[in-house]
């Protein structure tokens, strides 16, 4: 079935390296708007988005993320930190932040931009985790959690399409294991 949304979902790729070309502010605003319109539990909207363009801050963030993403985070002209107020929604803040992150990643793709989802959320909320270090860098309040960092820009190298499992491999009817 042909559909713009389904095409964006199928064709979006995580990008590890970015061109230095700037990202238009109206596109950043549209991406933030997509995050704002994500679904959340009883419409709590517990998220905040921090737009980082300062190179020094991006360099600091790159020092605490998993090594795969270091160069891309330094190169991307924009990085959006997706944070949530865990006190505002103690039971669903992770899903809410993940939905906002996905909306923004798809919006970026639909606008001809690229991103990658750098997950830094630490389930156990350890003091020296990547999430804790990101919170310090971005001066987040204690009750806020970081769901993801989204470096944003134009792809430097083409990303190959990878195979996906078939629906037959992952879908059951009525109960697990029933085809």
What tens digit of pLDDT does each residue of 2-23 get? Answer: 898 888 888 888 898 999 899 9
Bridge partners, residue 146, by sequence = 83
- Say what the pTM is: 0.93
pLDDT of 166 > 80? The answer is yes
b/e code 57-93 from CB counts within 10 Å (16+ = b): ebebbbebbeeebbebbbbbbbbbbbbbbbebbeebb
Q: CB–CB of 25/77 below 8 Å?
A: no
pLDDT of 1 > 90? The answer is no
User: What counts of helices (H) and strands (E) characterise the chain?
Assistant: 7, 5
CA distance 76 to 26: 17
CA distance 150 to 61: 11
Where do the structural domains in the chain lie, given as residue ranges? 4-157
The runs of H, that is alpha helices, within 50-160 are 55-62, 70-75, 93-110, 130-138
φ, ψ for residue 140, nearest 5 deg: -80, 145
| Residue recorded with tokens 């190169």 | 75
Bridge partners, residue 151, by sequence = 79
Q: What angle do CA 86, 74, 50 make, to 5 degrees?
A: 30
Q: CB–CB of 73/79 below 8 Å?
A: yes
* pLDDT tens column, 23-38: 999 999 999 999 999 9
CA distance 121 to 145: 7
Token representation of residue 8? 């964006």
φ, ψ for residue 152, nearest 5 deg: -135, 130
pLDDT of 66 > 90? The answer is no
**Given pLDDT bands bounded at 50, 70 and 90, which one contains residue 64?**
very high
| Residue recorded with tokens 């790729």 | 13
Q: Could you confirm whether domain 4-157 is CATH 1.10.3720.10?
A: no
């Amino acid at each position: 079935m042909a559909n713009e949304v389904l095409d964006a979902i199928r064709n979006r790729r995580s990008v590890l390296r970015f061109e230095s070309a700037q990202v238009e502010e109206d596109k950043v605003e549209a991406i933030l708007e997509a995050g704002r319109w994500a679904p959340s539990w009883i419409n709590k909207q517990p998220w905040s988005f921090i737009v980082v363009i300062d190179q020094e801050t991006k360099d600091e963030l790159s020092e605490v993320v998993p090594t795969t993403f270091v160069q891309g985070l330094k190169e991307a002209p924009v990085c959006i930190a997706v944070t949530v107020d865990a006190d505002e929604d103690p039971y669903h803040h992770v899903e809410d932040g993940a939905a906002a992150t996905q909306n923004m990643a798809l919006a970026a793709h639909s606008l001809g931009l690229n991103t990658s989802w750098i997950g830094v959320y630490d389930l156990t909320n350890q003091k020296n985790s990547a999430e804790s270090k990101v919170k310090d860098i971005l001066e987040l309040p204690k009750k806020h959690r970081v769901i993801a960092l989204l470096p944003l820009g134009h792809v430097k190298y083409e990303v190959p399409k990878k195979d996906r499992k078939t629906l037959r491999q992952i879908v059951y009817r009525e109960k697990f294991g029933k085809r």
